[in-house]
Amino acid sequence: MPGGPVDFTAASTAATPAVVHIKTRTKERQVSNNLPKNKNPFSDLFGDDDPFSNFFGNPRSGVIPEQRASGSGVLISNDGYIVTNNHVVEGADEVAVTTTNRKTYKGTVVATDPNSDLAVIKIDGTNLPYLAYGNSDDVKLGQWVLAVGYPLNLDVTVTAGIISAKARSIGINKGDRPIESFIQTDAAVNPGNSGGALINTNGELIGINSAIASPTGSYAGYSYAIPVNIVKKIVNDLMKFGTVQRAYIGISYPGENISEEQKKQQGIQDGSGVFINGVADDGAAKDAGIQKGDFITKLNGVEVNSGPEMQEQVARYKPGDKVTLTYVRNGKENTVNITLKNKSGNYAQVKQESIIDNLGAELSDLDKATAKKNNIDGGVLVKKIGDGLLKNTRMQEGFVITSVDGQDIKGLDDLKKILADAQGTVRLEGIYPGYDGTYGYPLNLSKDDGNGQGDR
């Protein structure tokens, strides 16, 4: 009521049953530096008596102990769909979800998006409480908000604060094209709150709590939430397509915190809006006549004054969507219609990449003669390693994959099937034909990838 005290009880009562506690378990992992016990396939460099082996004592293997962690999540449907942060469930072998009535469910990861740090998980249930989406565009500075989650392994906890800033970029999201346009609040958020709800005083979801700014790792004044209007679009894409249908204007623009000297070096001018310092040849902006040196000031009539503000608007659209773009050139304002494209420069639906594609390698079934000669039933030959996940391991070309986490691999079909269901880090084992011993390589299945920001 105007002039009276703010009452948070109704919002808290409505929200807490729909916010869940997520606990994850990552199994113990065997790791190896891949030095063989007998003949080393790389010993031509040193001879069989490897000097590095003698110097370091040849520690061939070690163990990463079992990892357990916890976070929060928000039920968004009565049949058990939950939104949380990607970093809450990333790499987990097991996901357990506990509701406020202390009932625990097995969680299944439906899909994830490291670029926005969002993930969708599912539990089997009916008539579950869930939070209604609010509208993050309506959020105002100074507005009261509540953070709901499970900090520090405590039971469900509600804290209050105000909106202290919008469209913040803090450089924490992983991925090849990260999206950051956070709502900043001073509601207390601690480890374990990640993936929980930021709600308004009507009990509507306006953001997913994701990060804190702290020199200690615990709450020190500010926390950050993904705006719900971004969450809605990405979650819907993940549930429908398995991957985000992300659209691009086809431009690059300066980072948020570059110096005056850097601006001068790059020819960046002062002005309102987002300065364009590059235009992609196959992008939507080029097709519409946008040029380097223009300032984008509005997208579909919504004013944008920074890269994060523009990101927040573009993130709501998919390839093929038509939008109006307002820009200033030589002091004159212009408005054009553009059709947004995907990252490949066309309008096609973005397909979910196969994990085999992400390996970045040329693979084939091992021929029967080589399999017989090496006393194995089959395997997958790594013929060539390019840019991809395998490049991050010590694996060399010519390796034959014979098992993944102890499951036999006799050919590419086996490898595709096992990796399609795998999460986190797996162990690829196999041989180098003609050399003694079995080798193992840990493979992280998460695809992680300045002054200038990429096309948004």
- Tell me the DSSP string of 243-260: S----B--EEEE-TT--H
199 within 8 A of 134, measured Cβ to Cβ: yes
Residues 333-359: b if buried by 16+ CB within 10 A, e if exposed = eeeeebebbbbebeeeebeeeebbeeb
Could you read off the pLDDT tens digit of each residue along the chain, which spans 456 residues? 455 678 999 999 999 999 999 999 988 765 544 444 444 444 334 334 444 333 333 444 556 688 899 999 999 999 999 999 999 998 888 999 999 999 999 999 999 999 999 999 999 999 999 999 999 999 999 999 999 999 999 999 999 999 999 999 888 887 678 899 999 999 999 999 999 999 999 999 999 999 988 777 777 789 999 999 999 999 999 999 999 999 999 999 987 777 788 888 877 888 889 999 999 999 999 999 999 999 999 999 999 999 999 999 999 999 999 999 999 999 999 999 999 999 889 999 888 777 787 888 999 999 999 999 999 999 999 999 988 889 888 899 999 999 998 889 999 988 988 887 676 788 999 999 988 889 999 998 764 433 456 555
**Catalytic-labelled residue, pool 53, 70, 116, 194:** 194
Number of other residues whose CB lies within 10 A of the CB of residue 161: 20
194 catalytic? Reply is: yes
Handedness of CA 209, 250, 314, 222 (dihedral sign): positive
**Catalytic-labelled residue, pool 21, 72, 87, 136:** 87
- pLDDT, tens digit, 9 for 90 and up, residues 46-98: 334 444 333 333 444 556 688 899 999 999 999 999 999 999 998 888 999 99
- What residue ranges define each of the domains in the chain, with the CATH number in brackets? 9-122 (2.40.10.10), 136-241 (2.40.10.10), 251-349 (2.30.42.10), 355-444 (2.30.42.10)
117 catalytic? Reply is: yes
Q: Pairing relation of β-strands 19-26 and 29-32?
A: unpaired
**Catalytic-labelled residue, pool 93, 113, 117, 294:** 117
319 within 8 A of 332, measured Cβ to Cβ: no
164 catalytic? Reply is: no
